[in-house]
Amino acid sequence: MIDVEDLIALVRNYNPRTNADLIRQAYLYGRKMHTGQLRHSGEEYFTHPVAVAAILTEQMLDDATIITALLHDTIEDTKSTFAEVAELFGEEIAELVDGVTKLTNLQLSSSEAKQAENFRKLLIAMSKDLRVILVKLADRLHNMRTIKSLPQEKQIRKARETMDIFAPLAGRMGMQWMREELEDLSFRVLNPEGRSSIIRRFITLQRETGDVVHRITADIRLELEKAGIEADVFGRAKKPYSVWRKMQEKNLAFSRLSDIYGFRVITGSEADCYRVLGVIHQRWRAVPGRFKDYISQPKSNGYRSIHTTVSGRDGKRVEVQIRTRQMNEVAEAGVAAHWSYRDGIRAQNPFAVDPAKWITTLTERFAADDDHDEFLENVKLEMYSDQVFCFTPKGDVIQLPRGATPLDYAYAIHTRIGNSCVSAKVDGIRVPLWTRLKNGQSIEIITAEGQRPQASWIDIVVTGRAKAAIRRSLREEDKGRFVKLGQELARLAFEHVGKKATDKALRTAARTLGLIDETELLARLGSAELTARRVVETLYPELASTASIDEVDAKRPVVGLDPNQPFRRANCCQPVPGERIVGITYRGQGVIVHSIDCPALAEFEEQPERWVDLHWTAGRHAAVHTVSLNMTISNDAGVLGRLCTLIGEQKANISDLHFVDRKPDYYRLIVEVDLRDVEHLHTVMTALEAESDVAQLERYRDLSRKP
């Protein structure tokens, strides 16, 4: 573990005016709070916050960010409180630590509806202070560097979340080095064989051709010396995951890949960047279509550089990036460059983007988007897409994702322009609205009064902003007529299965389908975006015919146990087929099966020898898995009988029932129901929630019950 004085020395290297006493105080406080806590590897837990702080010193960040890194787990994992951190270190640091704690608790790899809501919270936290996500990214980077000590299943879950969310986010923020390392560390877990094969091929290639990187670097330096240009030249083979992705995207074997080497030229001025470009294109043949000038057309995160691909030695393609030293600082740190220090003062880098403006451009278009699927689609398009740069007739630059059309361009300018668009001109020539735009084109949109978005436009546009605006317009147009038609369709569909389309039933169906409310559901029914059959099946799937599925032996529903090894489900979490599970061995009791998110598992984290990797047998399980439901119902005649009948209609059996609380108007009771699997549980709960006499319903888990 890095000593406190060594950490302070790392900060002093770029900020001699650092508040060393405050960092020292935070170090000692964090170490005290984490006393007795260990990581999965057996190391003292405080080694992790210190390592996160050290990673952030590489970005030359301010004292508040470094101290936040040292304290980022104190509020969540120790007796420390927000008030105590604020009193000792100030309100700013307390807010940052609290922000990191909230991010840590977000389940970003959960179900789509919940994932969309958590993405919203992620963006809100970023908008308050982007340093929160900088600490979180450094936290994830260190966790990925030390991931080998985790159980295999946890490694895979963390690596997938990192690959899907944190690596693209680092890239979107301009921290390309972090994105590449996060991707490669995830690749090592998710596809170790694929990564090893890439590395073996690199070794073979180097043995056959020698050190290509060294030779090409020397060639570039020689040409620059001849031209009298002072510059630093660096070269490297691309990361294994980057090579693997190219192989998958282009469906090519390794031997047919060309640009697997990358080179960077760092100059003293912008003018020298273009001089270097001229020297390289004179010496080597440029590859058509592989030139990008991000100096004259910077990315939204402040990234500036010239990219060109040329045919080098033996016809091998190599990519060359050319930028100034200041541009390189932003390219390395991305949006984080705003907080960088140099010689004790905030670095005044003219290319560092204002984080507040950057995050506003990322979040403003999602504010009114209530549809979970649309929001998730929008934010992922923003995070993952490469960009093209087009010009307005006045010469302003509009940034769009690759594959964008004139319609995307129109909606990027203003929703009103997009809704009234009838045609477009690209470089003065009229083109169809589905034309894919290219870098440097000038776009003119032609509008007309009375024009409205058409349903076919959804398939033409690629940006989340355009898709959301078109869908919203289509739904709002004639919405009243669609709602009336939807009411009639719902009434007929529910009567067909002997049910009533009450407001509560429709509201429950809307929530289950991820819609705003029952009015939105009826509008989609009337517009044929949603079928009445699907709405009914959402609430009462047991009324639909089911295909025959192989029955699972009720005595052996779990895979991963030794023959005749005794086992039973944990009383605390009552896992059912379809949920992810793990086994814990008990002397004399065999294996107790817990759901993977059961809080009771925390006490076994330091006893990996007791964990057993399990999963449910595929097929149709018998309805023998008891689950407790906590219900609050109206105290009216016949209510309990109707609800018991409803549970029976879902092919579920009530094995026990007892009252917890009796009031003049309501009863609270625990009902134990025997179920097949998690789908069956969802069916029963959805059917009960749709009943107007059920005031509250939740799955009851009693952690005080012994496993």
Cα angle vertex 679, ends 673, 680, to 5°? 30
Q: Is 270 a catalytic residue?
A: no
Which H or E element spans position 265? strand 261-267
What's the CA gap between 133 and 382, in Å, rounded? 17
Phi, psi of 642 (to 5 degrees): -65, -40
H or E stretch including 289? strand 285-293
Q: Which two tokens stand for residue 382?
A: 């923003």
Residue 237 exposed, middle or buried by CB count within 10 Å (0-12, 13-18, 19+) = middle
Residue-wise DSSP of 91-135? HHHHHHHHHHHHHHT--TTS-HHHHHHHHHHHHHHHHH-THHHHH
Count of all residues that appear for the chain in the document: 707
Long-range CB contacts (< 8 A, 24+ apart) of 589-597?
Answer: 590/565, 590/566, 591/561, 591/565, 591/566, 591/567, 592/567, 592/568, 592/707, 593/558, 593/567, 593/568, 593/569, 594/570, 594/707, 595/570, 596/153, 597/573
Say if residues 446 and 471 touch (Cβ distance below 8 Å): no
- The angle subtended at Cα 203 by Cα 200 and Cα 207, nearest 5°, is 140
Identify the three-state secondary structure at position 698: strand
Among 44, 76, 184, 529, the active-site one is: 76
How far apart, in Å, are the Cα atoms of 163 and each of 106, 303, 384, 397? 16, 22, 11, 31
Residues facing 444 on adjacent strands: 425
3-class state of residue 699 by DSSP: strand
Cα–Cα distance, 621 to 608 (Å, whole number): 30
How far apart CA 648 and CA 247 sit, in angstroms, is 54
523's CB contacts (< 8 A; 6+ apart) are 475, 479, 482, 483, 486
Q: Which of 5, 21, 44, 77 is catalytic?
A: 77
d(CA 542, CA 621) in angstroms, rounded, equals 15
Dihedral angle sign, alpha carbons of residues 688, 689, 694, 697: positive
Q: What share of the chain is helix, strand, coil (3-state, %, to 5)?
A: 50, 20, 30
Helices (H), 433-551: 464-476, 479-496, 503-512, 518-526, 532-539
- Provide the strand spans (E) within 278-416: 285-293, 306-311, 317-324, 341-342, 345-346, 387-391, 397-401
Query: Is 76 a known active-site residue?
Result: yes
**Half-sphere exposure in the Cβ direction for 6 (13 Å, CA):** 7
Strand partners, 324: 267
Contact assessment for residue 532 and residue 540, using Cβ atoms and an 8 Å cutoff: no
How many other C-beta atoms lie within 10 A of the C-beta of residue 647?
Answer: 18
User: In a 3-state reduction of DSSP, which class is residue 362?
Assistant: helix
Q: Which sequence positions are flagged as catalytic?
A: 76-77
